[in-house]
Each structure stands twice: as structure tokens, then as C-alpha cells.
Amino acid sequence: MKKKIYIFIAITTLLFSSLACSIGLPFNTAKTGETEIFTIDEEDSTAPTVKLTFAMGAGKFTLQPGAKKLVEGTVTYNISELKPVIERGVGSLYIHQDFNWDKIPIDPDNTINEWNLKLGTKPMDLTINGGAYEANFDLSGLAITDLDINEGASSTEITFSQPNPETIEKISYHTGASQVKIFGLANANFKEMNFSSGAGSYTLDFSGTLRQDANVIINSAVSEVKIIVPAGMNAQVDVQEGVSNVDINGTWTSINNIYSTSGSGPVLYIKVQMGLGSVVLDQVSE
């Protein structure tokens, strides 16, 4: 009888371990080791515009201006497979981690993966691909011509406190069930913006100075979306079906679910499409 019980326990343990690996339970997580620091010190490209791409998984990611070269900073990690890989091309730079986040689980409590980078003044098409990370991107004053951000469930804050000297043709932002705050979007100097998300909480602050008409589409799941525009800016927000509630702060007028503020200069057009959720329209003095 005891022999049968031991055999049953052994078989059950093997089956459960196999199942754990298939669904990502932490039986065989990536092995942590000594903390390593990888230094990034990339020279400016000779191309007039560089295509700059970053890709990381879970961790912390900080970007800010101030580099004397193209990219400067460090990546700190304690899993050997997280050592960054740098691929250089003619007019392109790709910095990523060659690690299969989908198939190799990590222990989030003991894993270190921290990117602290500075960017220079070179005009750039900037792409950021991230997973479940905590991100703080200060893009103030950077010369960005195209911006593409793709991330999983994240906590992200982005700032444009100084004008972009270039024009962004399109901002594409795709995020999962996240918390995202973007400040000073008018300073980004964009023509089009497409923001799509899962369930979460999102703040899009269009403070700054518009230099041309700008079109924004917000497509979100069950979410809370806060839209902030400065007083004196021409703004029109078209709230589509699916929004359960609209709260207004400031001098907005409403006709057939189109909310407007009056001002001078270029016009900010925003269309909000949601599965279900609430929208806050806030007008503030700069």
C-alpha cells in the first residue's frame, strides 16, 4: 500500500512540475547571479536621422535627454541572459535583450533589470518595445521625428516639458492593462497620434504649444481616460458610444457628444472610442 502511495506522489509531482513549466509557474525560473553593470556609450550616426530602437521585458526603464553622444548610460542586471545586445546598422541602432520572456519565467522579487539611459540631440525615429515594466521617459527637447511605443501591462510616465525641434509625423502608442500618464503632448509637435490600450487608467495632457493642427484617436477598453488641455487652446473632443460618463472641468461646450473649447491658433482634434468607461475633460491654466 505504501509503495503505491509513493508511486502516486512521484507521478503527481512530475505531472505538476511539467504543468508548472507549461503555464509559467516559478518551478524553474531563470537563475539569478551577481549583479552586473553594462555600459552603453554609442557615438552619433553620420545619417541625418537615426532609427533608434529599444526592447526590454520586465524591469525599470528610464530615458532622459543630456547625452553628448547618441546613447549613453547603463543597464544593471543579475541574470546573465539579460546582458544587452547592441546591433548597429547604417543609420540605425537596436539595443535589446536576447531573452525569451514568454517561455522562461523570472522571479520578480529577486530579478534586477534596470535601464538608465540618456539620449543626444540627433534627429531620431524612436521605437520602444517593453513588457511589464515601470517606465519613466523624459523626452523633453529631443529631436524626434517618429515615436512608436509598444508595451504590456505597465506603469509609465512620459514628459515633454520642452518643445521638440522636429515634427513627429505620428505617435503610435499601444499598451496593455496599464497606468499611463503623458504630460506636455503639445510640445511633442506631432501631426497624428493613435493611442490604444487595454483596461486601465490613462492621463493625456496636451499642455504646451501646438504648431499645427493635430489629430488624436484614443481606442481603449474598460478604462478611465483623463484628457487635459490648456486654456486658450482650440480643442474638439468627439466622444463615441461606449463611454458611460463624461465629467467636465472648465469652459467646455457640448453639441451631439462633441465637446469644444475656444481659443486661437491650430486645432486639436480628439476622437475617443471605448468599450466601456469614463472620460474626464479638464481645462487648466498653464
Interatomic CA distance for residues 3 and 34, integer angstroms: 43
- Domain span holding position 119: 2-284
Give the C-alpha separation, 225 to 214, whole Å: 19
Confidence of residue 276 (pLDDT cuts 50, 70, 90): confident
Residue listed under C-alpha cell 503632448: 185
The model's pLDDT over 210-269, given as tens digits with 9 standing for 90+, comes to: 999 999 999 998 899 999 999 999 999 999 877 878 999 989 999 988 999 988 899 999
Q: Specify the pTM.
A: 0.88
Q: CA distances (Å), 61 to each of 22, 42, 69, 77, 136, in order?
A: 28, 18, 19, 12, 6
Gap between the Cα atoms of 283 and 286, Å rounded: 10
In tens, the pLDDT along 117-163 reads 999 999 999 999 998 899 999 999 999 999 999 999 899 999 999 99
Number of structural domains found in the chain? 1
Residue 6: DSSP 8-state: H
133 phi-psi bin (left φ>0, alpha ψ -120 to 50, beta other)? beta
Residue 24 has pLDDT above 80, yes or no: no
Q: Is 140 helix (H, G, I), strand (E, B) or coil?
A: coil
Q: Domain holding 241: CATH number? A: 2.160.20
Residue 262 CA to residue 32 CA, distance in Å, equals 57
Query: What mean pLDDT, rounded, does the chain reach?
Result: 89
- In the block, which residue shows the cell 538608465? 116
